[in-house]
Structure 1
Amino acid sequence: MNEDRWRHLNVLHLSDLHFGDKHAFNPVVAPDGAPGAVRGRPTLFESVLSDVGRLLPGIRGHGLDAVPEDGGVPEERTIVTLTGDLTERAQTPQFDLAQTFMQSFAAGLGLGLRDIFVVPGNHDLSYDEAATADRWARYCRFYERHAEAVSRLNGSAAPRFQPETPQALTRIIDQSDVGLIVAEINSSAYVQRGTADERRGQVDEEAIDALDEQLKAIDEGKRRRSIRLALIHHHPAVLPGLADPGEGYDAVVNADQLLGMLKRHAFHAVLHGHKHTPHAFTYDPVCAWTRDPVRPLMVIAGGSAGSTELRREPGATNTYNIVRIKWHPDAPQARIHVETRGHVIHDEDGRLMPGPRWHWQMLRLDDRLLSATRSPAPRAGTTRKRDPQHDEAYERERANAIASTRRNFPVIEVMPSLDPQQGYEARVRIEAQTDKLDYVAPDRVEWSAGPLFPEIHVVRRDQSPQFNARFSYHGPMLIQARLYWDGELEADRYECQAYVFAHFPGRGEQIEPD
């Protein structure tokens, strides 16, 4: 078990499903305008479920209902996040399709409805209606059905969402008892045709303040140990690649306050959709006249999993994300691994393939380590001038160590491991002073971490010029690098050993509190 030292979360992030006339997985339309046969044409649910099951078979059955009987925290958790535009025109049949998708997808993954989190998009309300209640009536009915089912599982009273106040859809889902806090943020509350909010998102200051108060009400220790995710539909920060020419360049109104509040509560990631363009970047600005620590916040745009309307760019296709998060509260470090999957429906010649041949492939991997920085530590100790008589012997030892490795030195990088049962991953490699005359590249390196690791990594130069290897572990260890030069003559054969230490960060360190 992780002994409450880390959290491991798999997030299936889908956005902009657009159930309706512009849904990419609809049956083919015949020349007379009537839909054709569905046989052979996969649904979005079937297609994504097949891809996830093939790619990550081990994530099934890791929902909230699989919490250990002793009430502890699961080593691994899987959730589904839907960041808006579930429908094309907020019609009841389209919401029914979205509801069926959510239920089928959860069941197919062995998850419960408490493992599904959803926010509305600008297409999920009747934005032609003048009255707020009329714009939001259908979405609120849809969301209440989901909230009621979750409440029954939790044994709590079902919340009510009045269509007159869609701002109440911005709320905190507190599952900190099992290491997760999710902010569901409604950025479409003010969307209305013919107004300034028709094409932009907005989160008002009262909603931001309410989120802040809900987060403060959570036990500080539980909050600090939890993975914290925010879901929103519109883009909270804009990169040039997310901008639409002629459509404005606005991020969510009040995004500075919203993102600032999320950073103060040390959220790890914001997931969104809206632009149908998959992006991932870190948001970590720091104002010089504040004392806020640097806490990188990863922003992940989900593209569109189901719309036929995509950006006219090379390689544009439907996408979804598999996000894997490892959080070490004691360090504090978070590793966020984003794999964007792209839908392939055309063959090499650009012809549309039959439905049974449609598949998903990896478009991009983004693997980042997020660490909260501390204030610079004051300089400790003193200095002294070099004493040739005293220090020469030590200098000879240093030179001998350089010569013994022929200027090849093992180095290490430590980060959270994506193995749910291990805490950290040690990445080791050989760095060399290749510009020195006495440098000689080894032919192979054998990496060993002791008897608890029965396999010794043997890496030859033609396999990896830096002799890369990795170890997943749950405690400190000393890693040995055995360097070999395999000369044809006995006199040319040589070996040496060098060592690097893999630390387990966070133990006994003073960490700045959230």
Structure 2
Amino acid sequence: MIILRYSDYETDTLESHIATLADGPVLWGWWKKQHEGFPHDLLERAARSAAEREVRVGLVHRVDEKFAVGICSEVVYRGDGEEFASPNKSRTPEYYRDERCAAWFNFKDINIVSEDSWVDEFGPVPSGDSTIFEARRARPADYPVPVVGATAQHGQSGILHISDLHFGSDHGYSRRAGPTNPPIPLAEKIVSALPVRPACVVVSGDLTTRGESDGFLSARIFVEKLTELLDLQRNAVVLIPGNHDILIDDPTVTRDFRNEQAFRDHLQIFYGAATELERVHDIRDVSGRHYVIGALNSSRPRLKENMDYGYVGIDRSAPVFKTVRICADLARSATWTAVALHHHVLPGSHVEEPENKRPVSMTLDAGEIVSLAHTERIDAVLHGHQHLPFIGQVARVAEFTLDGATQNTPISPVTVLGAGSAGVQRPRIPDPVGFNTFSFYRPFDVPTATLVECFGYLEQRNVHPLWSLTV
């Protein structure tokens, strides 16, 4: 059996297809993301089964988890995997009847069902980034997401946190001459200013400026050079996309998620394998202590009214938080847990004023992220975005629902670590900061388990001395 997962981008997808059913069968197009593989064998089996008898297709909304079952009498696709127009435009919802899809499912009926009955028939709700799945009744051992393991054999301790490099037209540092203009001096500046060599590096988004191709090239060269100078394995570097790396303001590139492809290519080249945007890194330092860090993508296409805000989605965030907790519980030594994304979960500046072309920088589901951090006992949330370094703490002491208040909600606050910009031009840096910055955290080095934060100030020509703040 096949499961199709969908989102509501332009309209209520399920409602539009059910409305079309009033006059006869409806065609449901599979919007294949550009980076997804083409499941030829799965579609061939489904098409053969539908030709013999009606088959049931599981439909699940990515965010709201609306559950439905489509009664399918035909599956149409091309053997070469190419997208093609609807076989019957009059039986396709108007909002996309002129579009091309990788496969079309002819539904005689669509029935909304409860989650329990859907799971009984199709198995656990699939996680990850794909939009088409083969139904699995038994929960696999690695559910919900695969873990990216890494051992920083040569790193010492602590976390280097850099963000908002903005390679491309907004980058503020000179480059060495050469055909690719590698920005090696900035990597050397950061490494020379570190108090000790870190066990891992987190780069929390906006590696590029507006996704410029030369920005991606420079960013890759920089990250590779930084990894080499720190003598780290590549899986000890956690790369997060920002709103400049995955553009979401052009609907022509978001329908099939081709807007993610440049960053996905960047990840594949750096890690040497296809890598999901949401994942977990489990890293050990020289003393055997673990840093378990979940990566989240907060640059997601949504409605025009809220597109510029950060947003992750419970379907993507919850599995990552859960896996971070599982990894931490399996560790046999001290463990520090965190999740990293690009957009804010706390205001960075004292006052935020929306601009005509840009709203405030908060993540729309920040409350959900904080609640998940409490539930899974996560120590910290790391982010970048506003070029303003700060340390905050946040706590949701109780959650109130129709079933009453939650019980045993942790009351210890989650530490929020906002990074400044390590590479943007000086005019793009807020006045209270004035310089490019990086952050260095040593969570295990303070007996009271508080966090030591070091901000390194980088001027265009000089590196300013470090200063520390304990919270």
Using structure 2 for the length normalisation, give the TM-score.
0.57
Of the three residues 386, 389, 392, the one matched with 1:278 is 389
Q: Residues 279 and 267 of structure 1: is their aligned pair in 2 closer, same or farther, counting only changes over 3 Å?
A: same
Counterpart check, 1:98 vs 2:256: no
In structure 2, give the amino acid aligned to 1:174.
D
Give me the whole-angstrom Cα distance separating, in 1, the residues matched to 2:465 and 2:397. Answer: 34
Matched with 2:78 is: none
Give me the whole-angstrom Cα distance separating, in 2, the residues matched to 1:107 and 1:38. Answer: 20
Of the three residues 125, 141, 145, the one matched with 2:265 is 141
In structure 2, give the amino acid aligned to 1:306.
G
Give me the whole-angstrom Cα distance separating, in 1, the residues matched to 2:283 and 2:437. Answer: 28
Counterpart check, 1:323 vs 2:441: yes
- Give the drift of 1:179: 1.4
Counterpart check, 1:339 vs 2:454: yes
Of the three residues 222, 244, 258, the one matched with 1:123 is 244
**Structure 2: any 5+ residue segments left out of the alignment?**
1-154, 400-404
Give me the whole-angstrom Cα distance separating, in 2, the residues matched to 1:244 and 1:363. Answer: 31
Name the SS for the 2:418 alignment partner.
strand
Matched with 1:174 is: 282
Matched with 1:46 is: 185
Instruction: Please give the per-residue CA displacement for 1:305-358, whole angstroms capped at 9, x wherever unaligned.
Output: 111142452442211112222179xx9x5231111122234xxxxxxxxxxxx1
Matched with 1:259 is: 370
- Check whether the contact 2:293–2:324 (CA below 8 A) recurs between aligned residues: no
Give me the whole-angstrom Cα distance separating, in 2, the residues matched to 1:239 and 1:277. Answer: 6
Give me the whole-angstrom Cα distance separating, in 2, the residues matched to 1:54 and 1:317. Answer: 15
Give me the whole-angstrom Cα distance separating, in 2, the residues matched to 1:312 and 1:55. Answer: 23
Give me the whole-angstrom Cα distance separating, in 2, the residues matched to 1:315 and 1:210. Answer: 36
In structure 2, give the amino acid aligned to 1:204.
G
Give me the whole-angstrom Cα distance separating, in 1, the residues matched to 2:328 and 2:190. Answer: 38
Give me the whole-angstrom Cα distance separating, in 2, the residues matched to 1:231 and 1:50. Answer: 24
- Check whether the contact 1:242–1:277 (CA below 8 A) recurs between aligned residues: no
- Check whether the contact 1:49–1:109 (CA below 8 A) recurs between aligned residues: no
Of the three residues 145, 161, 166, the one matched with 1:13 is 161
Give me the whole-angstrom Cα distance separating, in 2, the residues matched to 1:179 and 1:312. Answer: 34
Q: Residues 257 and 278 of structure 1: is their aligned pair in 2 closer, same or farther, counting only changes over 3 Å?
A: same
Name the SS for the 2:244 alignment partner.
helix
- Give the drift of 1:244: 4.1
Counterpart check, 1:84 vs 2:84: no
Give me the whole-angstrom Cα distance separating, in 2, the residues matched to 1:300 and 1:180. Answer: 15
Name the SS for the 1:111 alignment partner.
coil
Counterpart check, 1:361 vs 2:445: no
In structure 2, give the amino acid aligned to 1:89.
R
Q: CA RMSD in A?
A: 3.1
Give me the whole-angstrom Cα distance separating, in 1, the residues matched to 2:240 and 2:422. Answer: 15
Instruction: Please give the per-residue CA displacement for 1:186-221, whole angstroms capped at 9, x wherever unaligned.
Output: 001227xx8234321001121123224424543724
- Check whether the contact 1:12–1:79 (CA below 8 A) recurs between aligned residues: yes
In structure 2, give the amino acid aligned to 1:19.
F
| Alignment coverage as a number of residue pairs | 300
Name the SS for the 2:463 alignment partner.
strand
In structure 2, give the amino acid aligned to 1:322.
F
Name the SS for the 2:339 alignment partner.
strand
Of the three residues 235, 240, 247, the one matched with 1:114 is 235
- Check whether the contact 1:8–1:327 (CA below 8 A) recurs between aligned residues: no
Give me the whole-angstrom Cα distance separating, in 2, the residues matched to 1:314 and 1:126. Answer: 28
Counterpart check, 1:198 vs 2:307: yes
Matched with 2:88 is: none
Matched with 2:335 is: 226
Give me the whole-angstrom Cα distance separating, in 2, the residues matched to 1:337 and 1:118. Answer: 23
Name the SS for the 1:321 alignment partner.
strand
Of the three residues 170, 175, 183, the one matched with 1:22 is 170
Give me the whole-angstrom Cα distance separating, in 1, the residues matched to 2:310 and 2:420. Answer: 17
Give me the whole-angstrom Cα distance separating, in 2, the residues matched to 1:81 and 1:367. Answer: 20
Q: Residues 49 and 269 of structure 1: is their aligned pair in 2 closer, same or farther, counting only changes over 3 Å?
A: farther
Give me the whole-angstrom Cα distance separating, in 2, the residues matched to 1:304 and 1:278. Answer: 8
In structure 2, give the amino acid aligned to 1:203.
V
Give me the whole-angstrom Cα distance separating, in 2, the residues matched to 1:342 and 1:242. Answer: 24
Q: Residues 115 and 312 of structure 1: is their aligned pair in 2 closer, same or farther, counting only changes over 3 Å?
A: closer
Matched with 2:428 is: 310
Give me the whole-angstrom Cα distance separating, in 2, the residues matched to 1:51 and 1:125. Answer: 26
- Check whether the contact 1:303–1:318 (CA below 8 A) recurs between aligned residues: yes
- Check whether the contact 2:388–2:430 (CA below 8 A) recurs between aligned residues: no
Using structure 1 for the length normalisation, give the TM-score.
0.53
Give me the whole-angstrom Cα distance separating, in 2, the residues matched to 1:107 and 1:129. Answer: 38
- Check whether the contact 1:10–1:79 (CA below 8 A) recurs between aligned residues: yes
Instruction: Please give the per-residue CA displacement for 1:99-150, whole angstroms capped at 9, x wherever unaligned.
Output: 11111111112222122111000000243352322211111111122232xx
Give me the whole-angstrom Cα distance separating, in 1, the residues matched to 2:221 and 2:309. Answer: 29
In structure 1, give the amino acid aligned to 2:449.
A
Matched with 2:414 is: 297
Instruction: Please give the per-residue CA displacement for 1:473-505, whole angstroms capped at 9, x wherever unaligned.
Output: xxxxxxxxxxxxxxxxxxxxxxxxxxxxxxxxx
- Give the drift of 1:14: 0.8
Counterpart check, 1:269 vs 2:380: yes
Give me the whole-angstrom Cα distance separating, in 1, the residues matched to 2:159 and 2:325. Answer: 25
- Check whether the contact 1:190–1:201 (CA below 8 A) recurs between aligned residues: no
- Check whether the contact 1:84–1:124 (CA below 8 A) recurs between aligned residues: yes
Identity of aligned residues (%): 22
Give me the whole-angstrom Cα distance separating, in 2, the residues matched to 1:116 and 1:185. Answer: 14
In structure 1, give the amino acid aligned to 2:443.
I
**Structure 1: any 5+ residue segments left out of the alignment?**
1-6, 28-36, 60-76, 149-157, 162-168, 346-357, 369-514
In structure 2, give the amino acid aligned to 1:342.
Y
Counterpart check, 1:189 vs 2:300: yes
Give me the whole-angstrom Cα distance separating, in 1, the residues matched to 2:395 and 2:201. Answer: 26
In structure 2, give the amino acid aligned to 1:237.
L
Q: Residues 267 and 129 of structure 1: is their aligned pair in 2 closer, same or farther, counting only changes over 3 Å?
A: same
- Give the drift of 1:230: 1.3
- Give the drift of 1:160: 5.0
